[in-house]
Every structure is written in structure tokens, then in C-alpha cells.
């Protein structure tokens, strides 16, 4: 797994909370830093793609592991 600067565990949270929490975490980070997000909501996969597309933050990685979804988001 790639390196990251901050981690957000959004496990157990449902739409739209993982996105909203991620937005909040990213707001406190600096450009170029990477946020690792963990979620259990299957809808988060598509949602983080759309979030990245709309906000310009880069979704570096999106994968499923042991029933959890992991995202690496680089702040633009």
C-alpha cells in the first residue's frame, strides 16, 4: 500500500457521510498530501470516483480488501 499522510476510518457510515468526512479531512490537509479512507458502504466506490472528478483531488487507489473499501486520495 502506498504511503499516506492521514487516515480516515468511515467504516459503518452510510451515504453521504464517508464523502462529507473525507471532505472535512482534506480541508485540513495540504496540497499533495494523501488521505487514506476506509469505508464499508459499497456505494462509496462510485461516490469517491465522482468526488474526485468534481473536486479535482486525485483518486490514486480504490480497492476492496476483506469486505472493506480502501481509497487513497491526493489533495489537489
Nearest residue (CB) to another protein, 31 versus 54: 54
Residue 37: CB partners within 8 Å, gap ≥ 6? 7, 8, 10, 18, 22, 25, 44, 48, 70, 71, 72, 73
Q: Find out whether 15 and 56 touch, Cβ atoms under 8 Å.
A: no
Q: How far is the CB of 1 from another protein (least distance, A)?
A: 24
With CB under 8 A as the contact rule, the residue among 5, 7, 15, 46 that binds another protein is 15
Which one from 5, 7, 12, 15 is the annotated catalytic residue?
15
Active site includes 15? yes
Q: Which residues are marked as active site? A: 15
Amino acid at each position: 500500500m502506498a504511503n499516506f499522510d492521514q487516515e480516515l476510518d468511515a467504516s459503518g457510515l452510510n451515504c453521504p457521510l464517508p464523502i462529507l468526512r473525507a471532505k472535512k479531512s482534506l480541508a485540513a490537509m495540504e496540497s499533495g498530501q494523501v488521505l487514506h479512507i476506509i469505508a464499508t458502504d459499497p456505494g462509496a466506490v462510485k461516490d469517491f470516483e465522482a468526488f474526485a472528478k468534481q473536486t479535482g483531488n486525485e483518486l490514486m487507489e480504490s480497492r476492496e480488501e476483506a469486505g472493506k473499501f480502501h481509497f487513497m486520495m491526493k489533495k489537489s
